[in-house]
Copies of this chain bind each other. A is one copy, B any other.
């Protein structure tokens, strides 16, 4: 649980290195000196480039899936199909859950099913939303901008939890306490994951052959990639080939 250290954590990017007192550069570094406690082992059968996002989108969704004890028979929903959402689908499915994607866009239905989702519910269709009322044990909410969570709370089962992993800010429109009280529902948050659970995730992905869907780009194309990312035109993570830096 290093991510919840009461003394704060040192960000991989733009953090303040406590030994060098300089900025950290994360994966943009050519070399890095690391305490052995923070070194992870990537299973041999995983493609390194496709495994890279496991250390961010992967662990961010794995940690709440494990903390809220998702397993065989769990009913899990994922809000939003992006970098986080596509990993949440693969991992929840790998854990044996029945997985539903909430999306505003019917164009995502086939993609979600290809990734392993059992069902896709169009969140702008109120009849479709009603059909899954009271269904889910856990909802992983990956939406990174302000949105109304109340319609999703309605789809939680008794004792269900909605976990925010993408949106940092005020919950507006306001959260209504009535369904939370009358059906013992929770709204929670979760950030990234610790070293032990990240290793657990990597081992799990090795066993289940799970990696991120990626597109490899050269460093020189990063501005173009950024523009495409803003338009959601990426399936589902860009990975920079650092060798291109030398070109």
Q: Which residues of A contact B (CB under 8 A)?
A: 1, 4, 6, 67, 134, 158, 161, 164-165, 167-191
Please state if A182 and B189 are interface contacts (CB–CB under 8 Å). yes
For A164, give the chain B residue with the smallest CB separation.
Answer: B177
Inter-chain contacts of A182 with B (CB < 8 A): 4, 189, 191
On whether A177 and B189 interact (CB within 8 A), knowing A183-B4, A184-B67, the answer reads yes
- Of B158, B178, B191, which contacts A168 at CB under 8 A? B178
Inter-chain contacts of A175 with B (CB < 8 A): 170-171, 174-175, 187
Inter-chain contacts of A188 with B (CB < 8 A): 180, 184-187
On whether A171 and B181 interact (CB within 8 A), knowing A1-B158, A186-B187, A187-B187, the answer reads no
Q: Within the complex, what minimum Cβ distance (angstroms) separates A106 from chain B?
A: 28
CA distance A130 to B191 in the complex (A): 23
Inter-chain contacts of A4 with B (CB < 8 A): 158, 182-184
Inter-chain contacts of A172 with B (CB < 8 A): 174
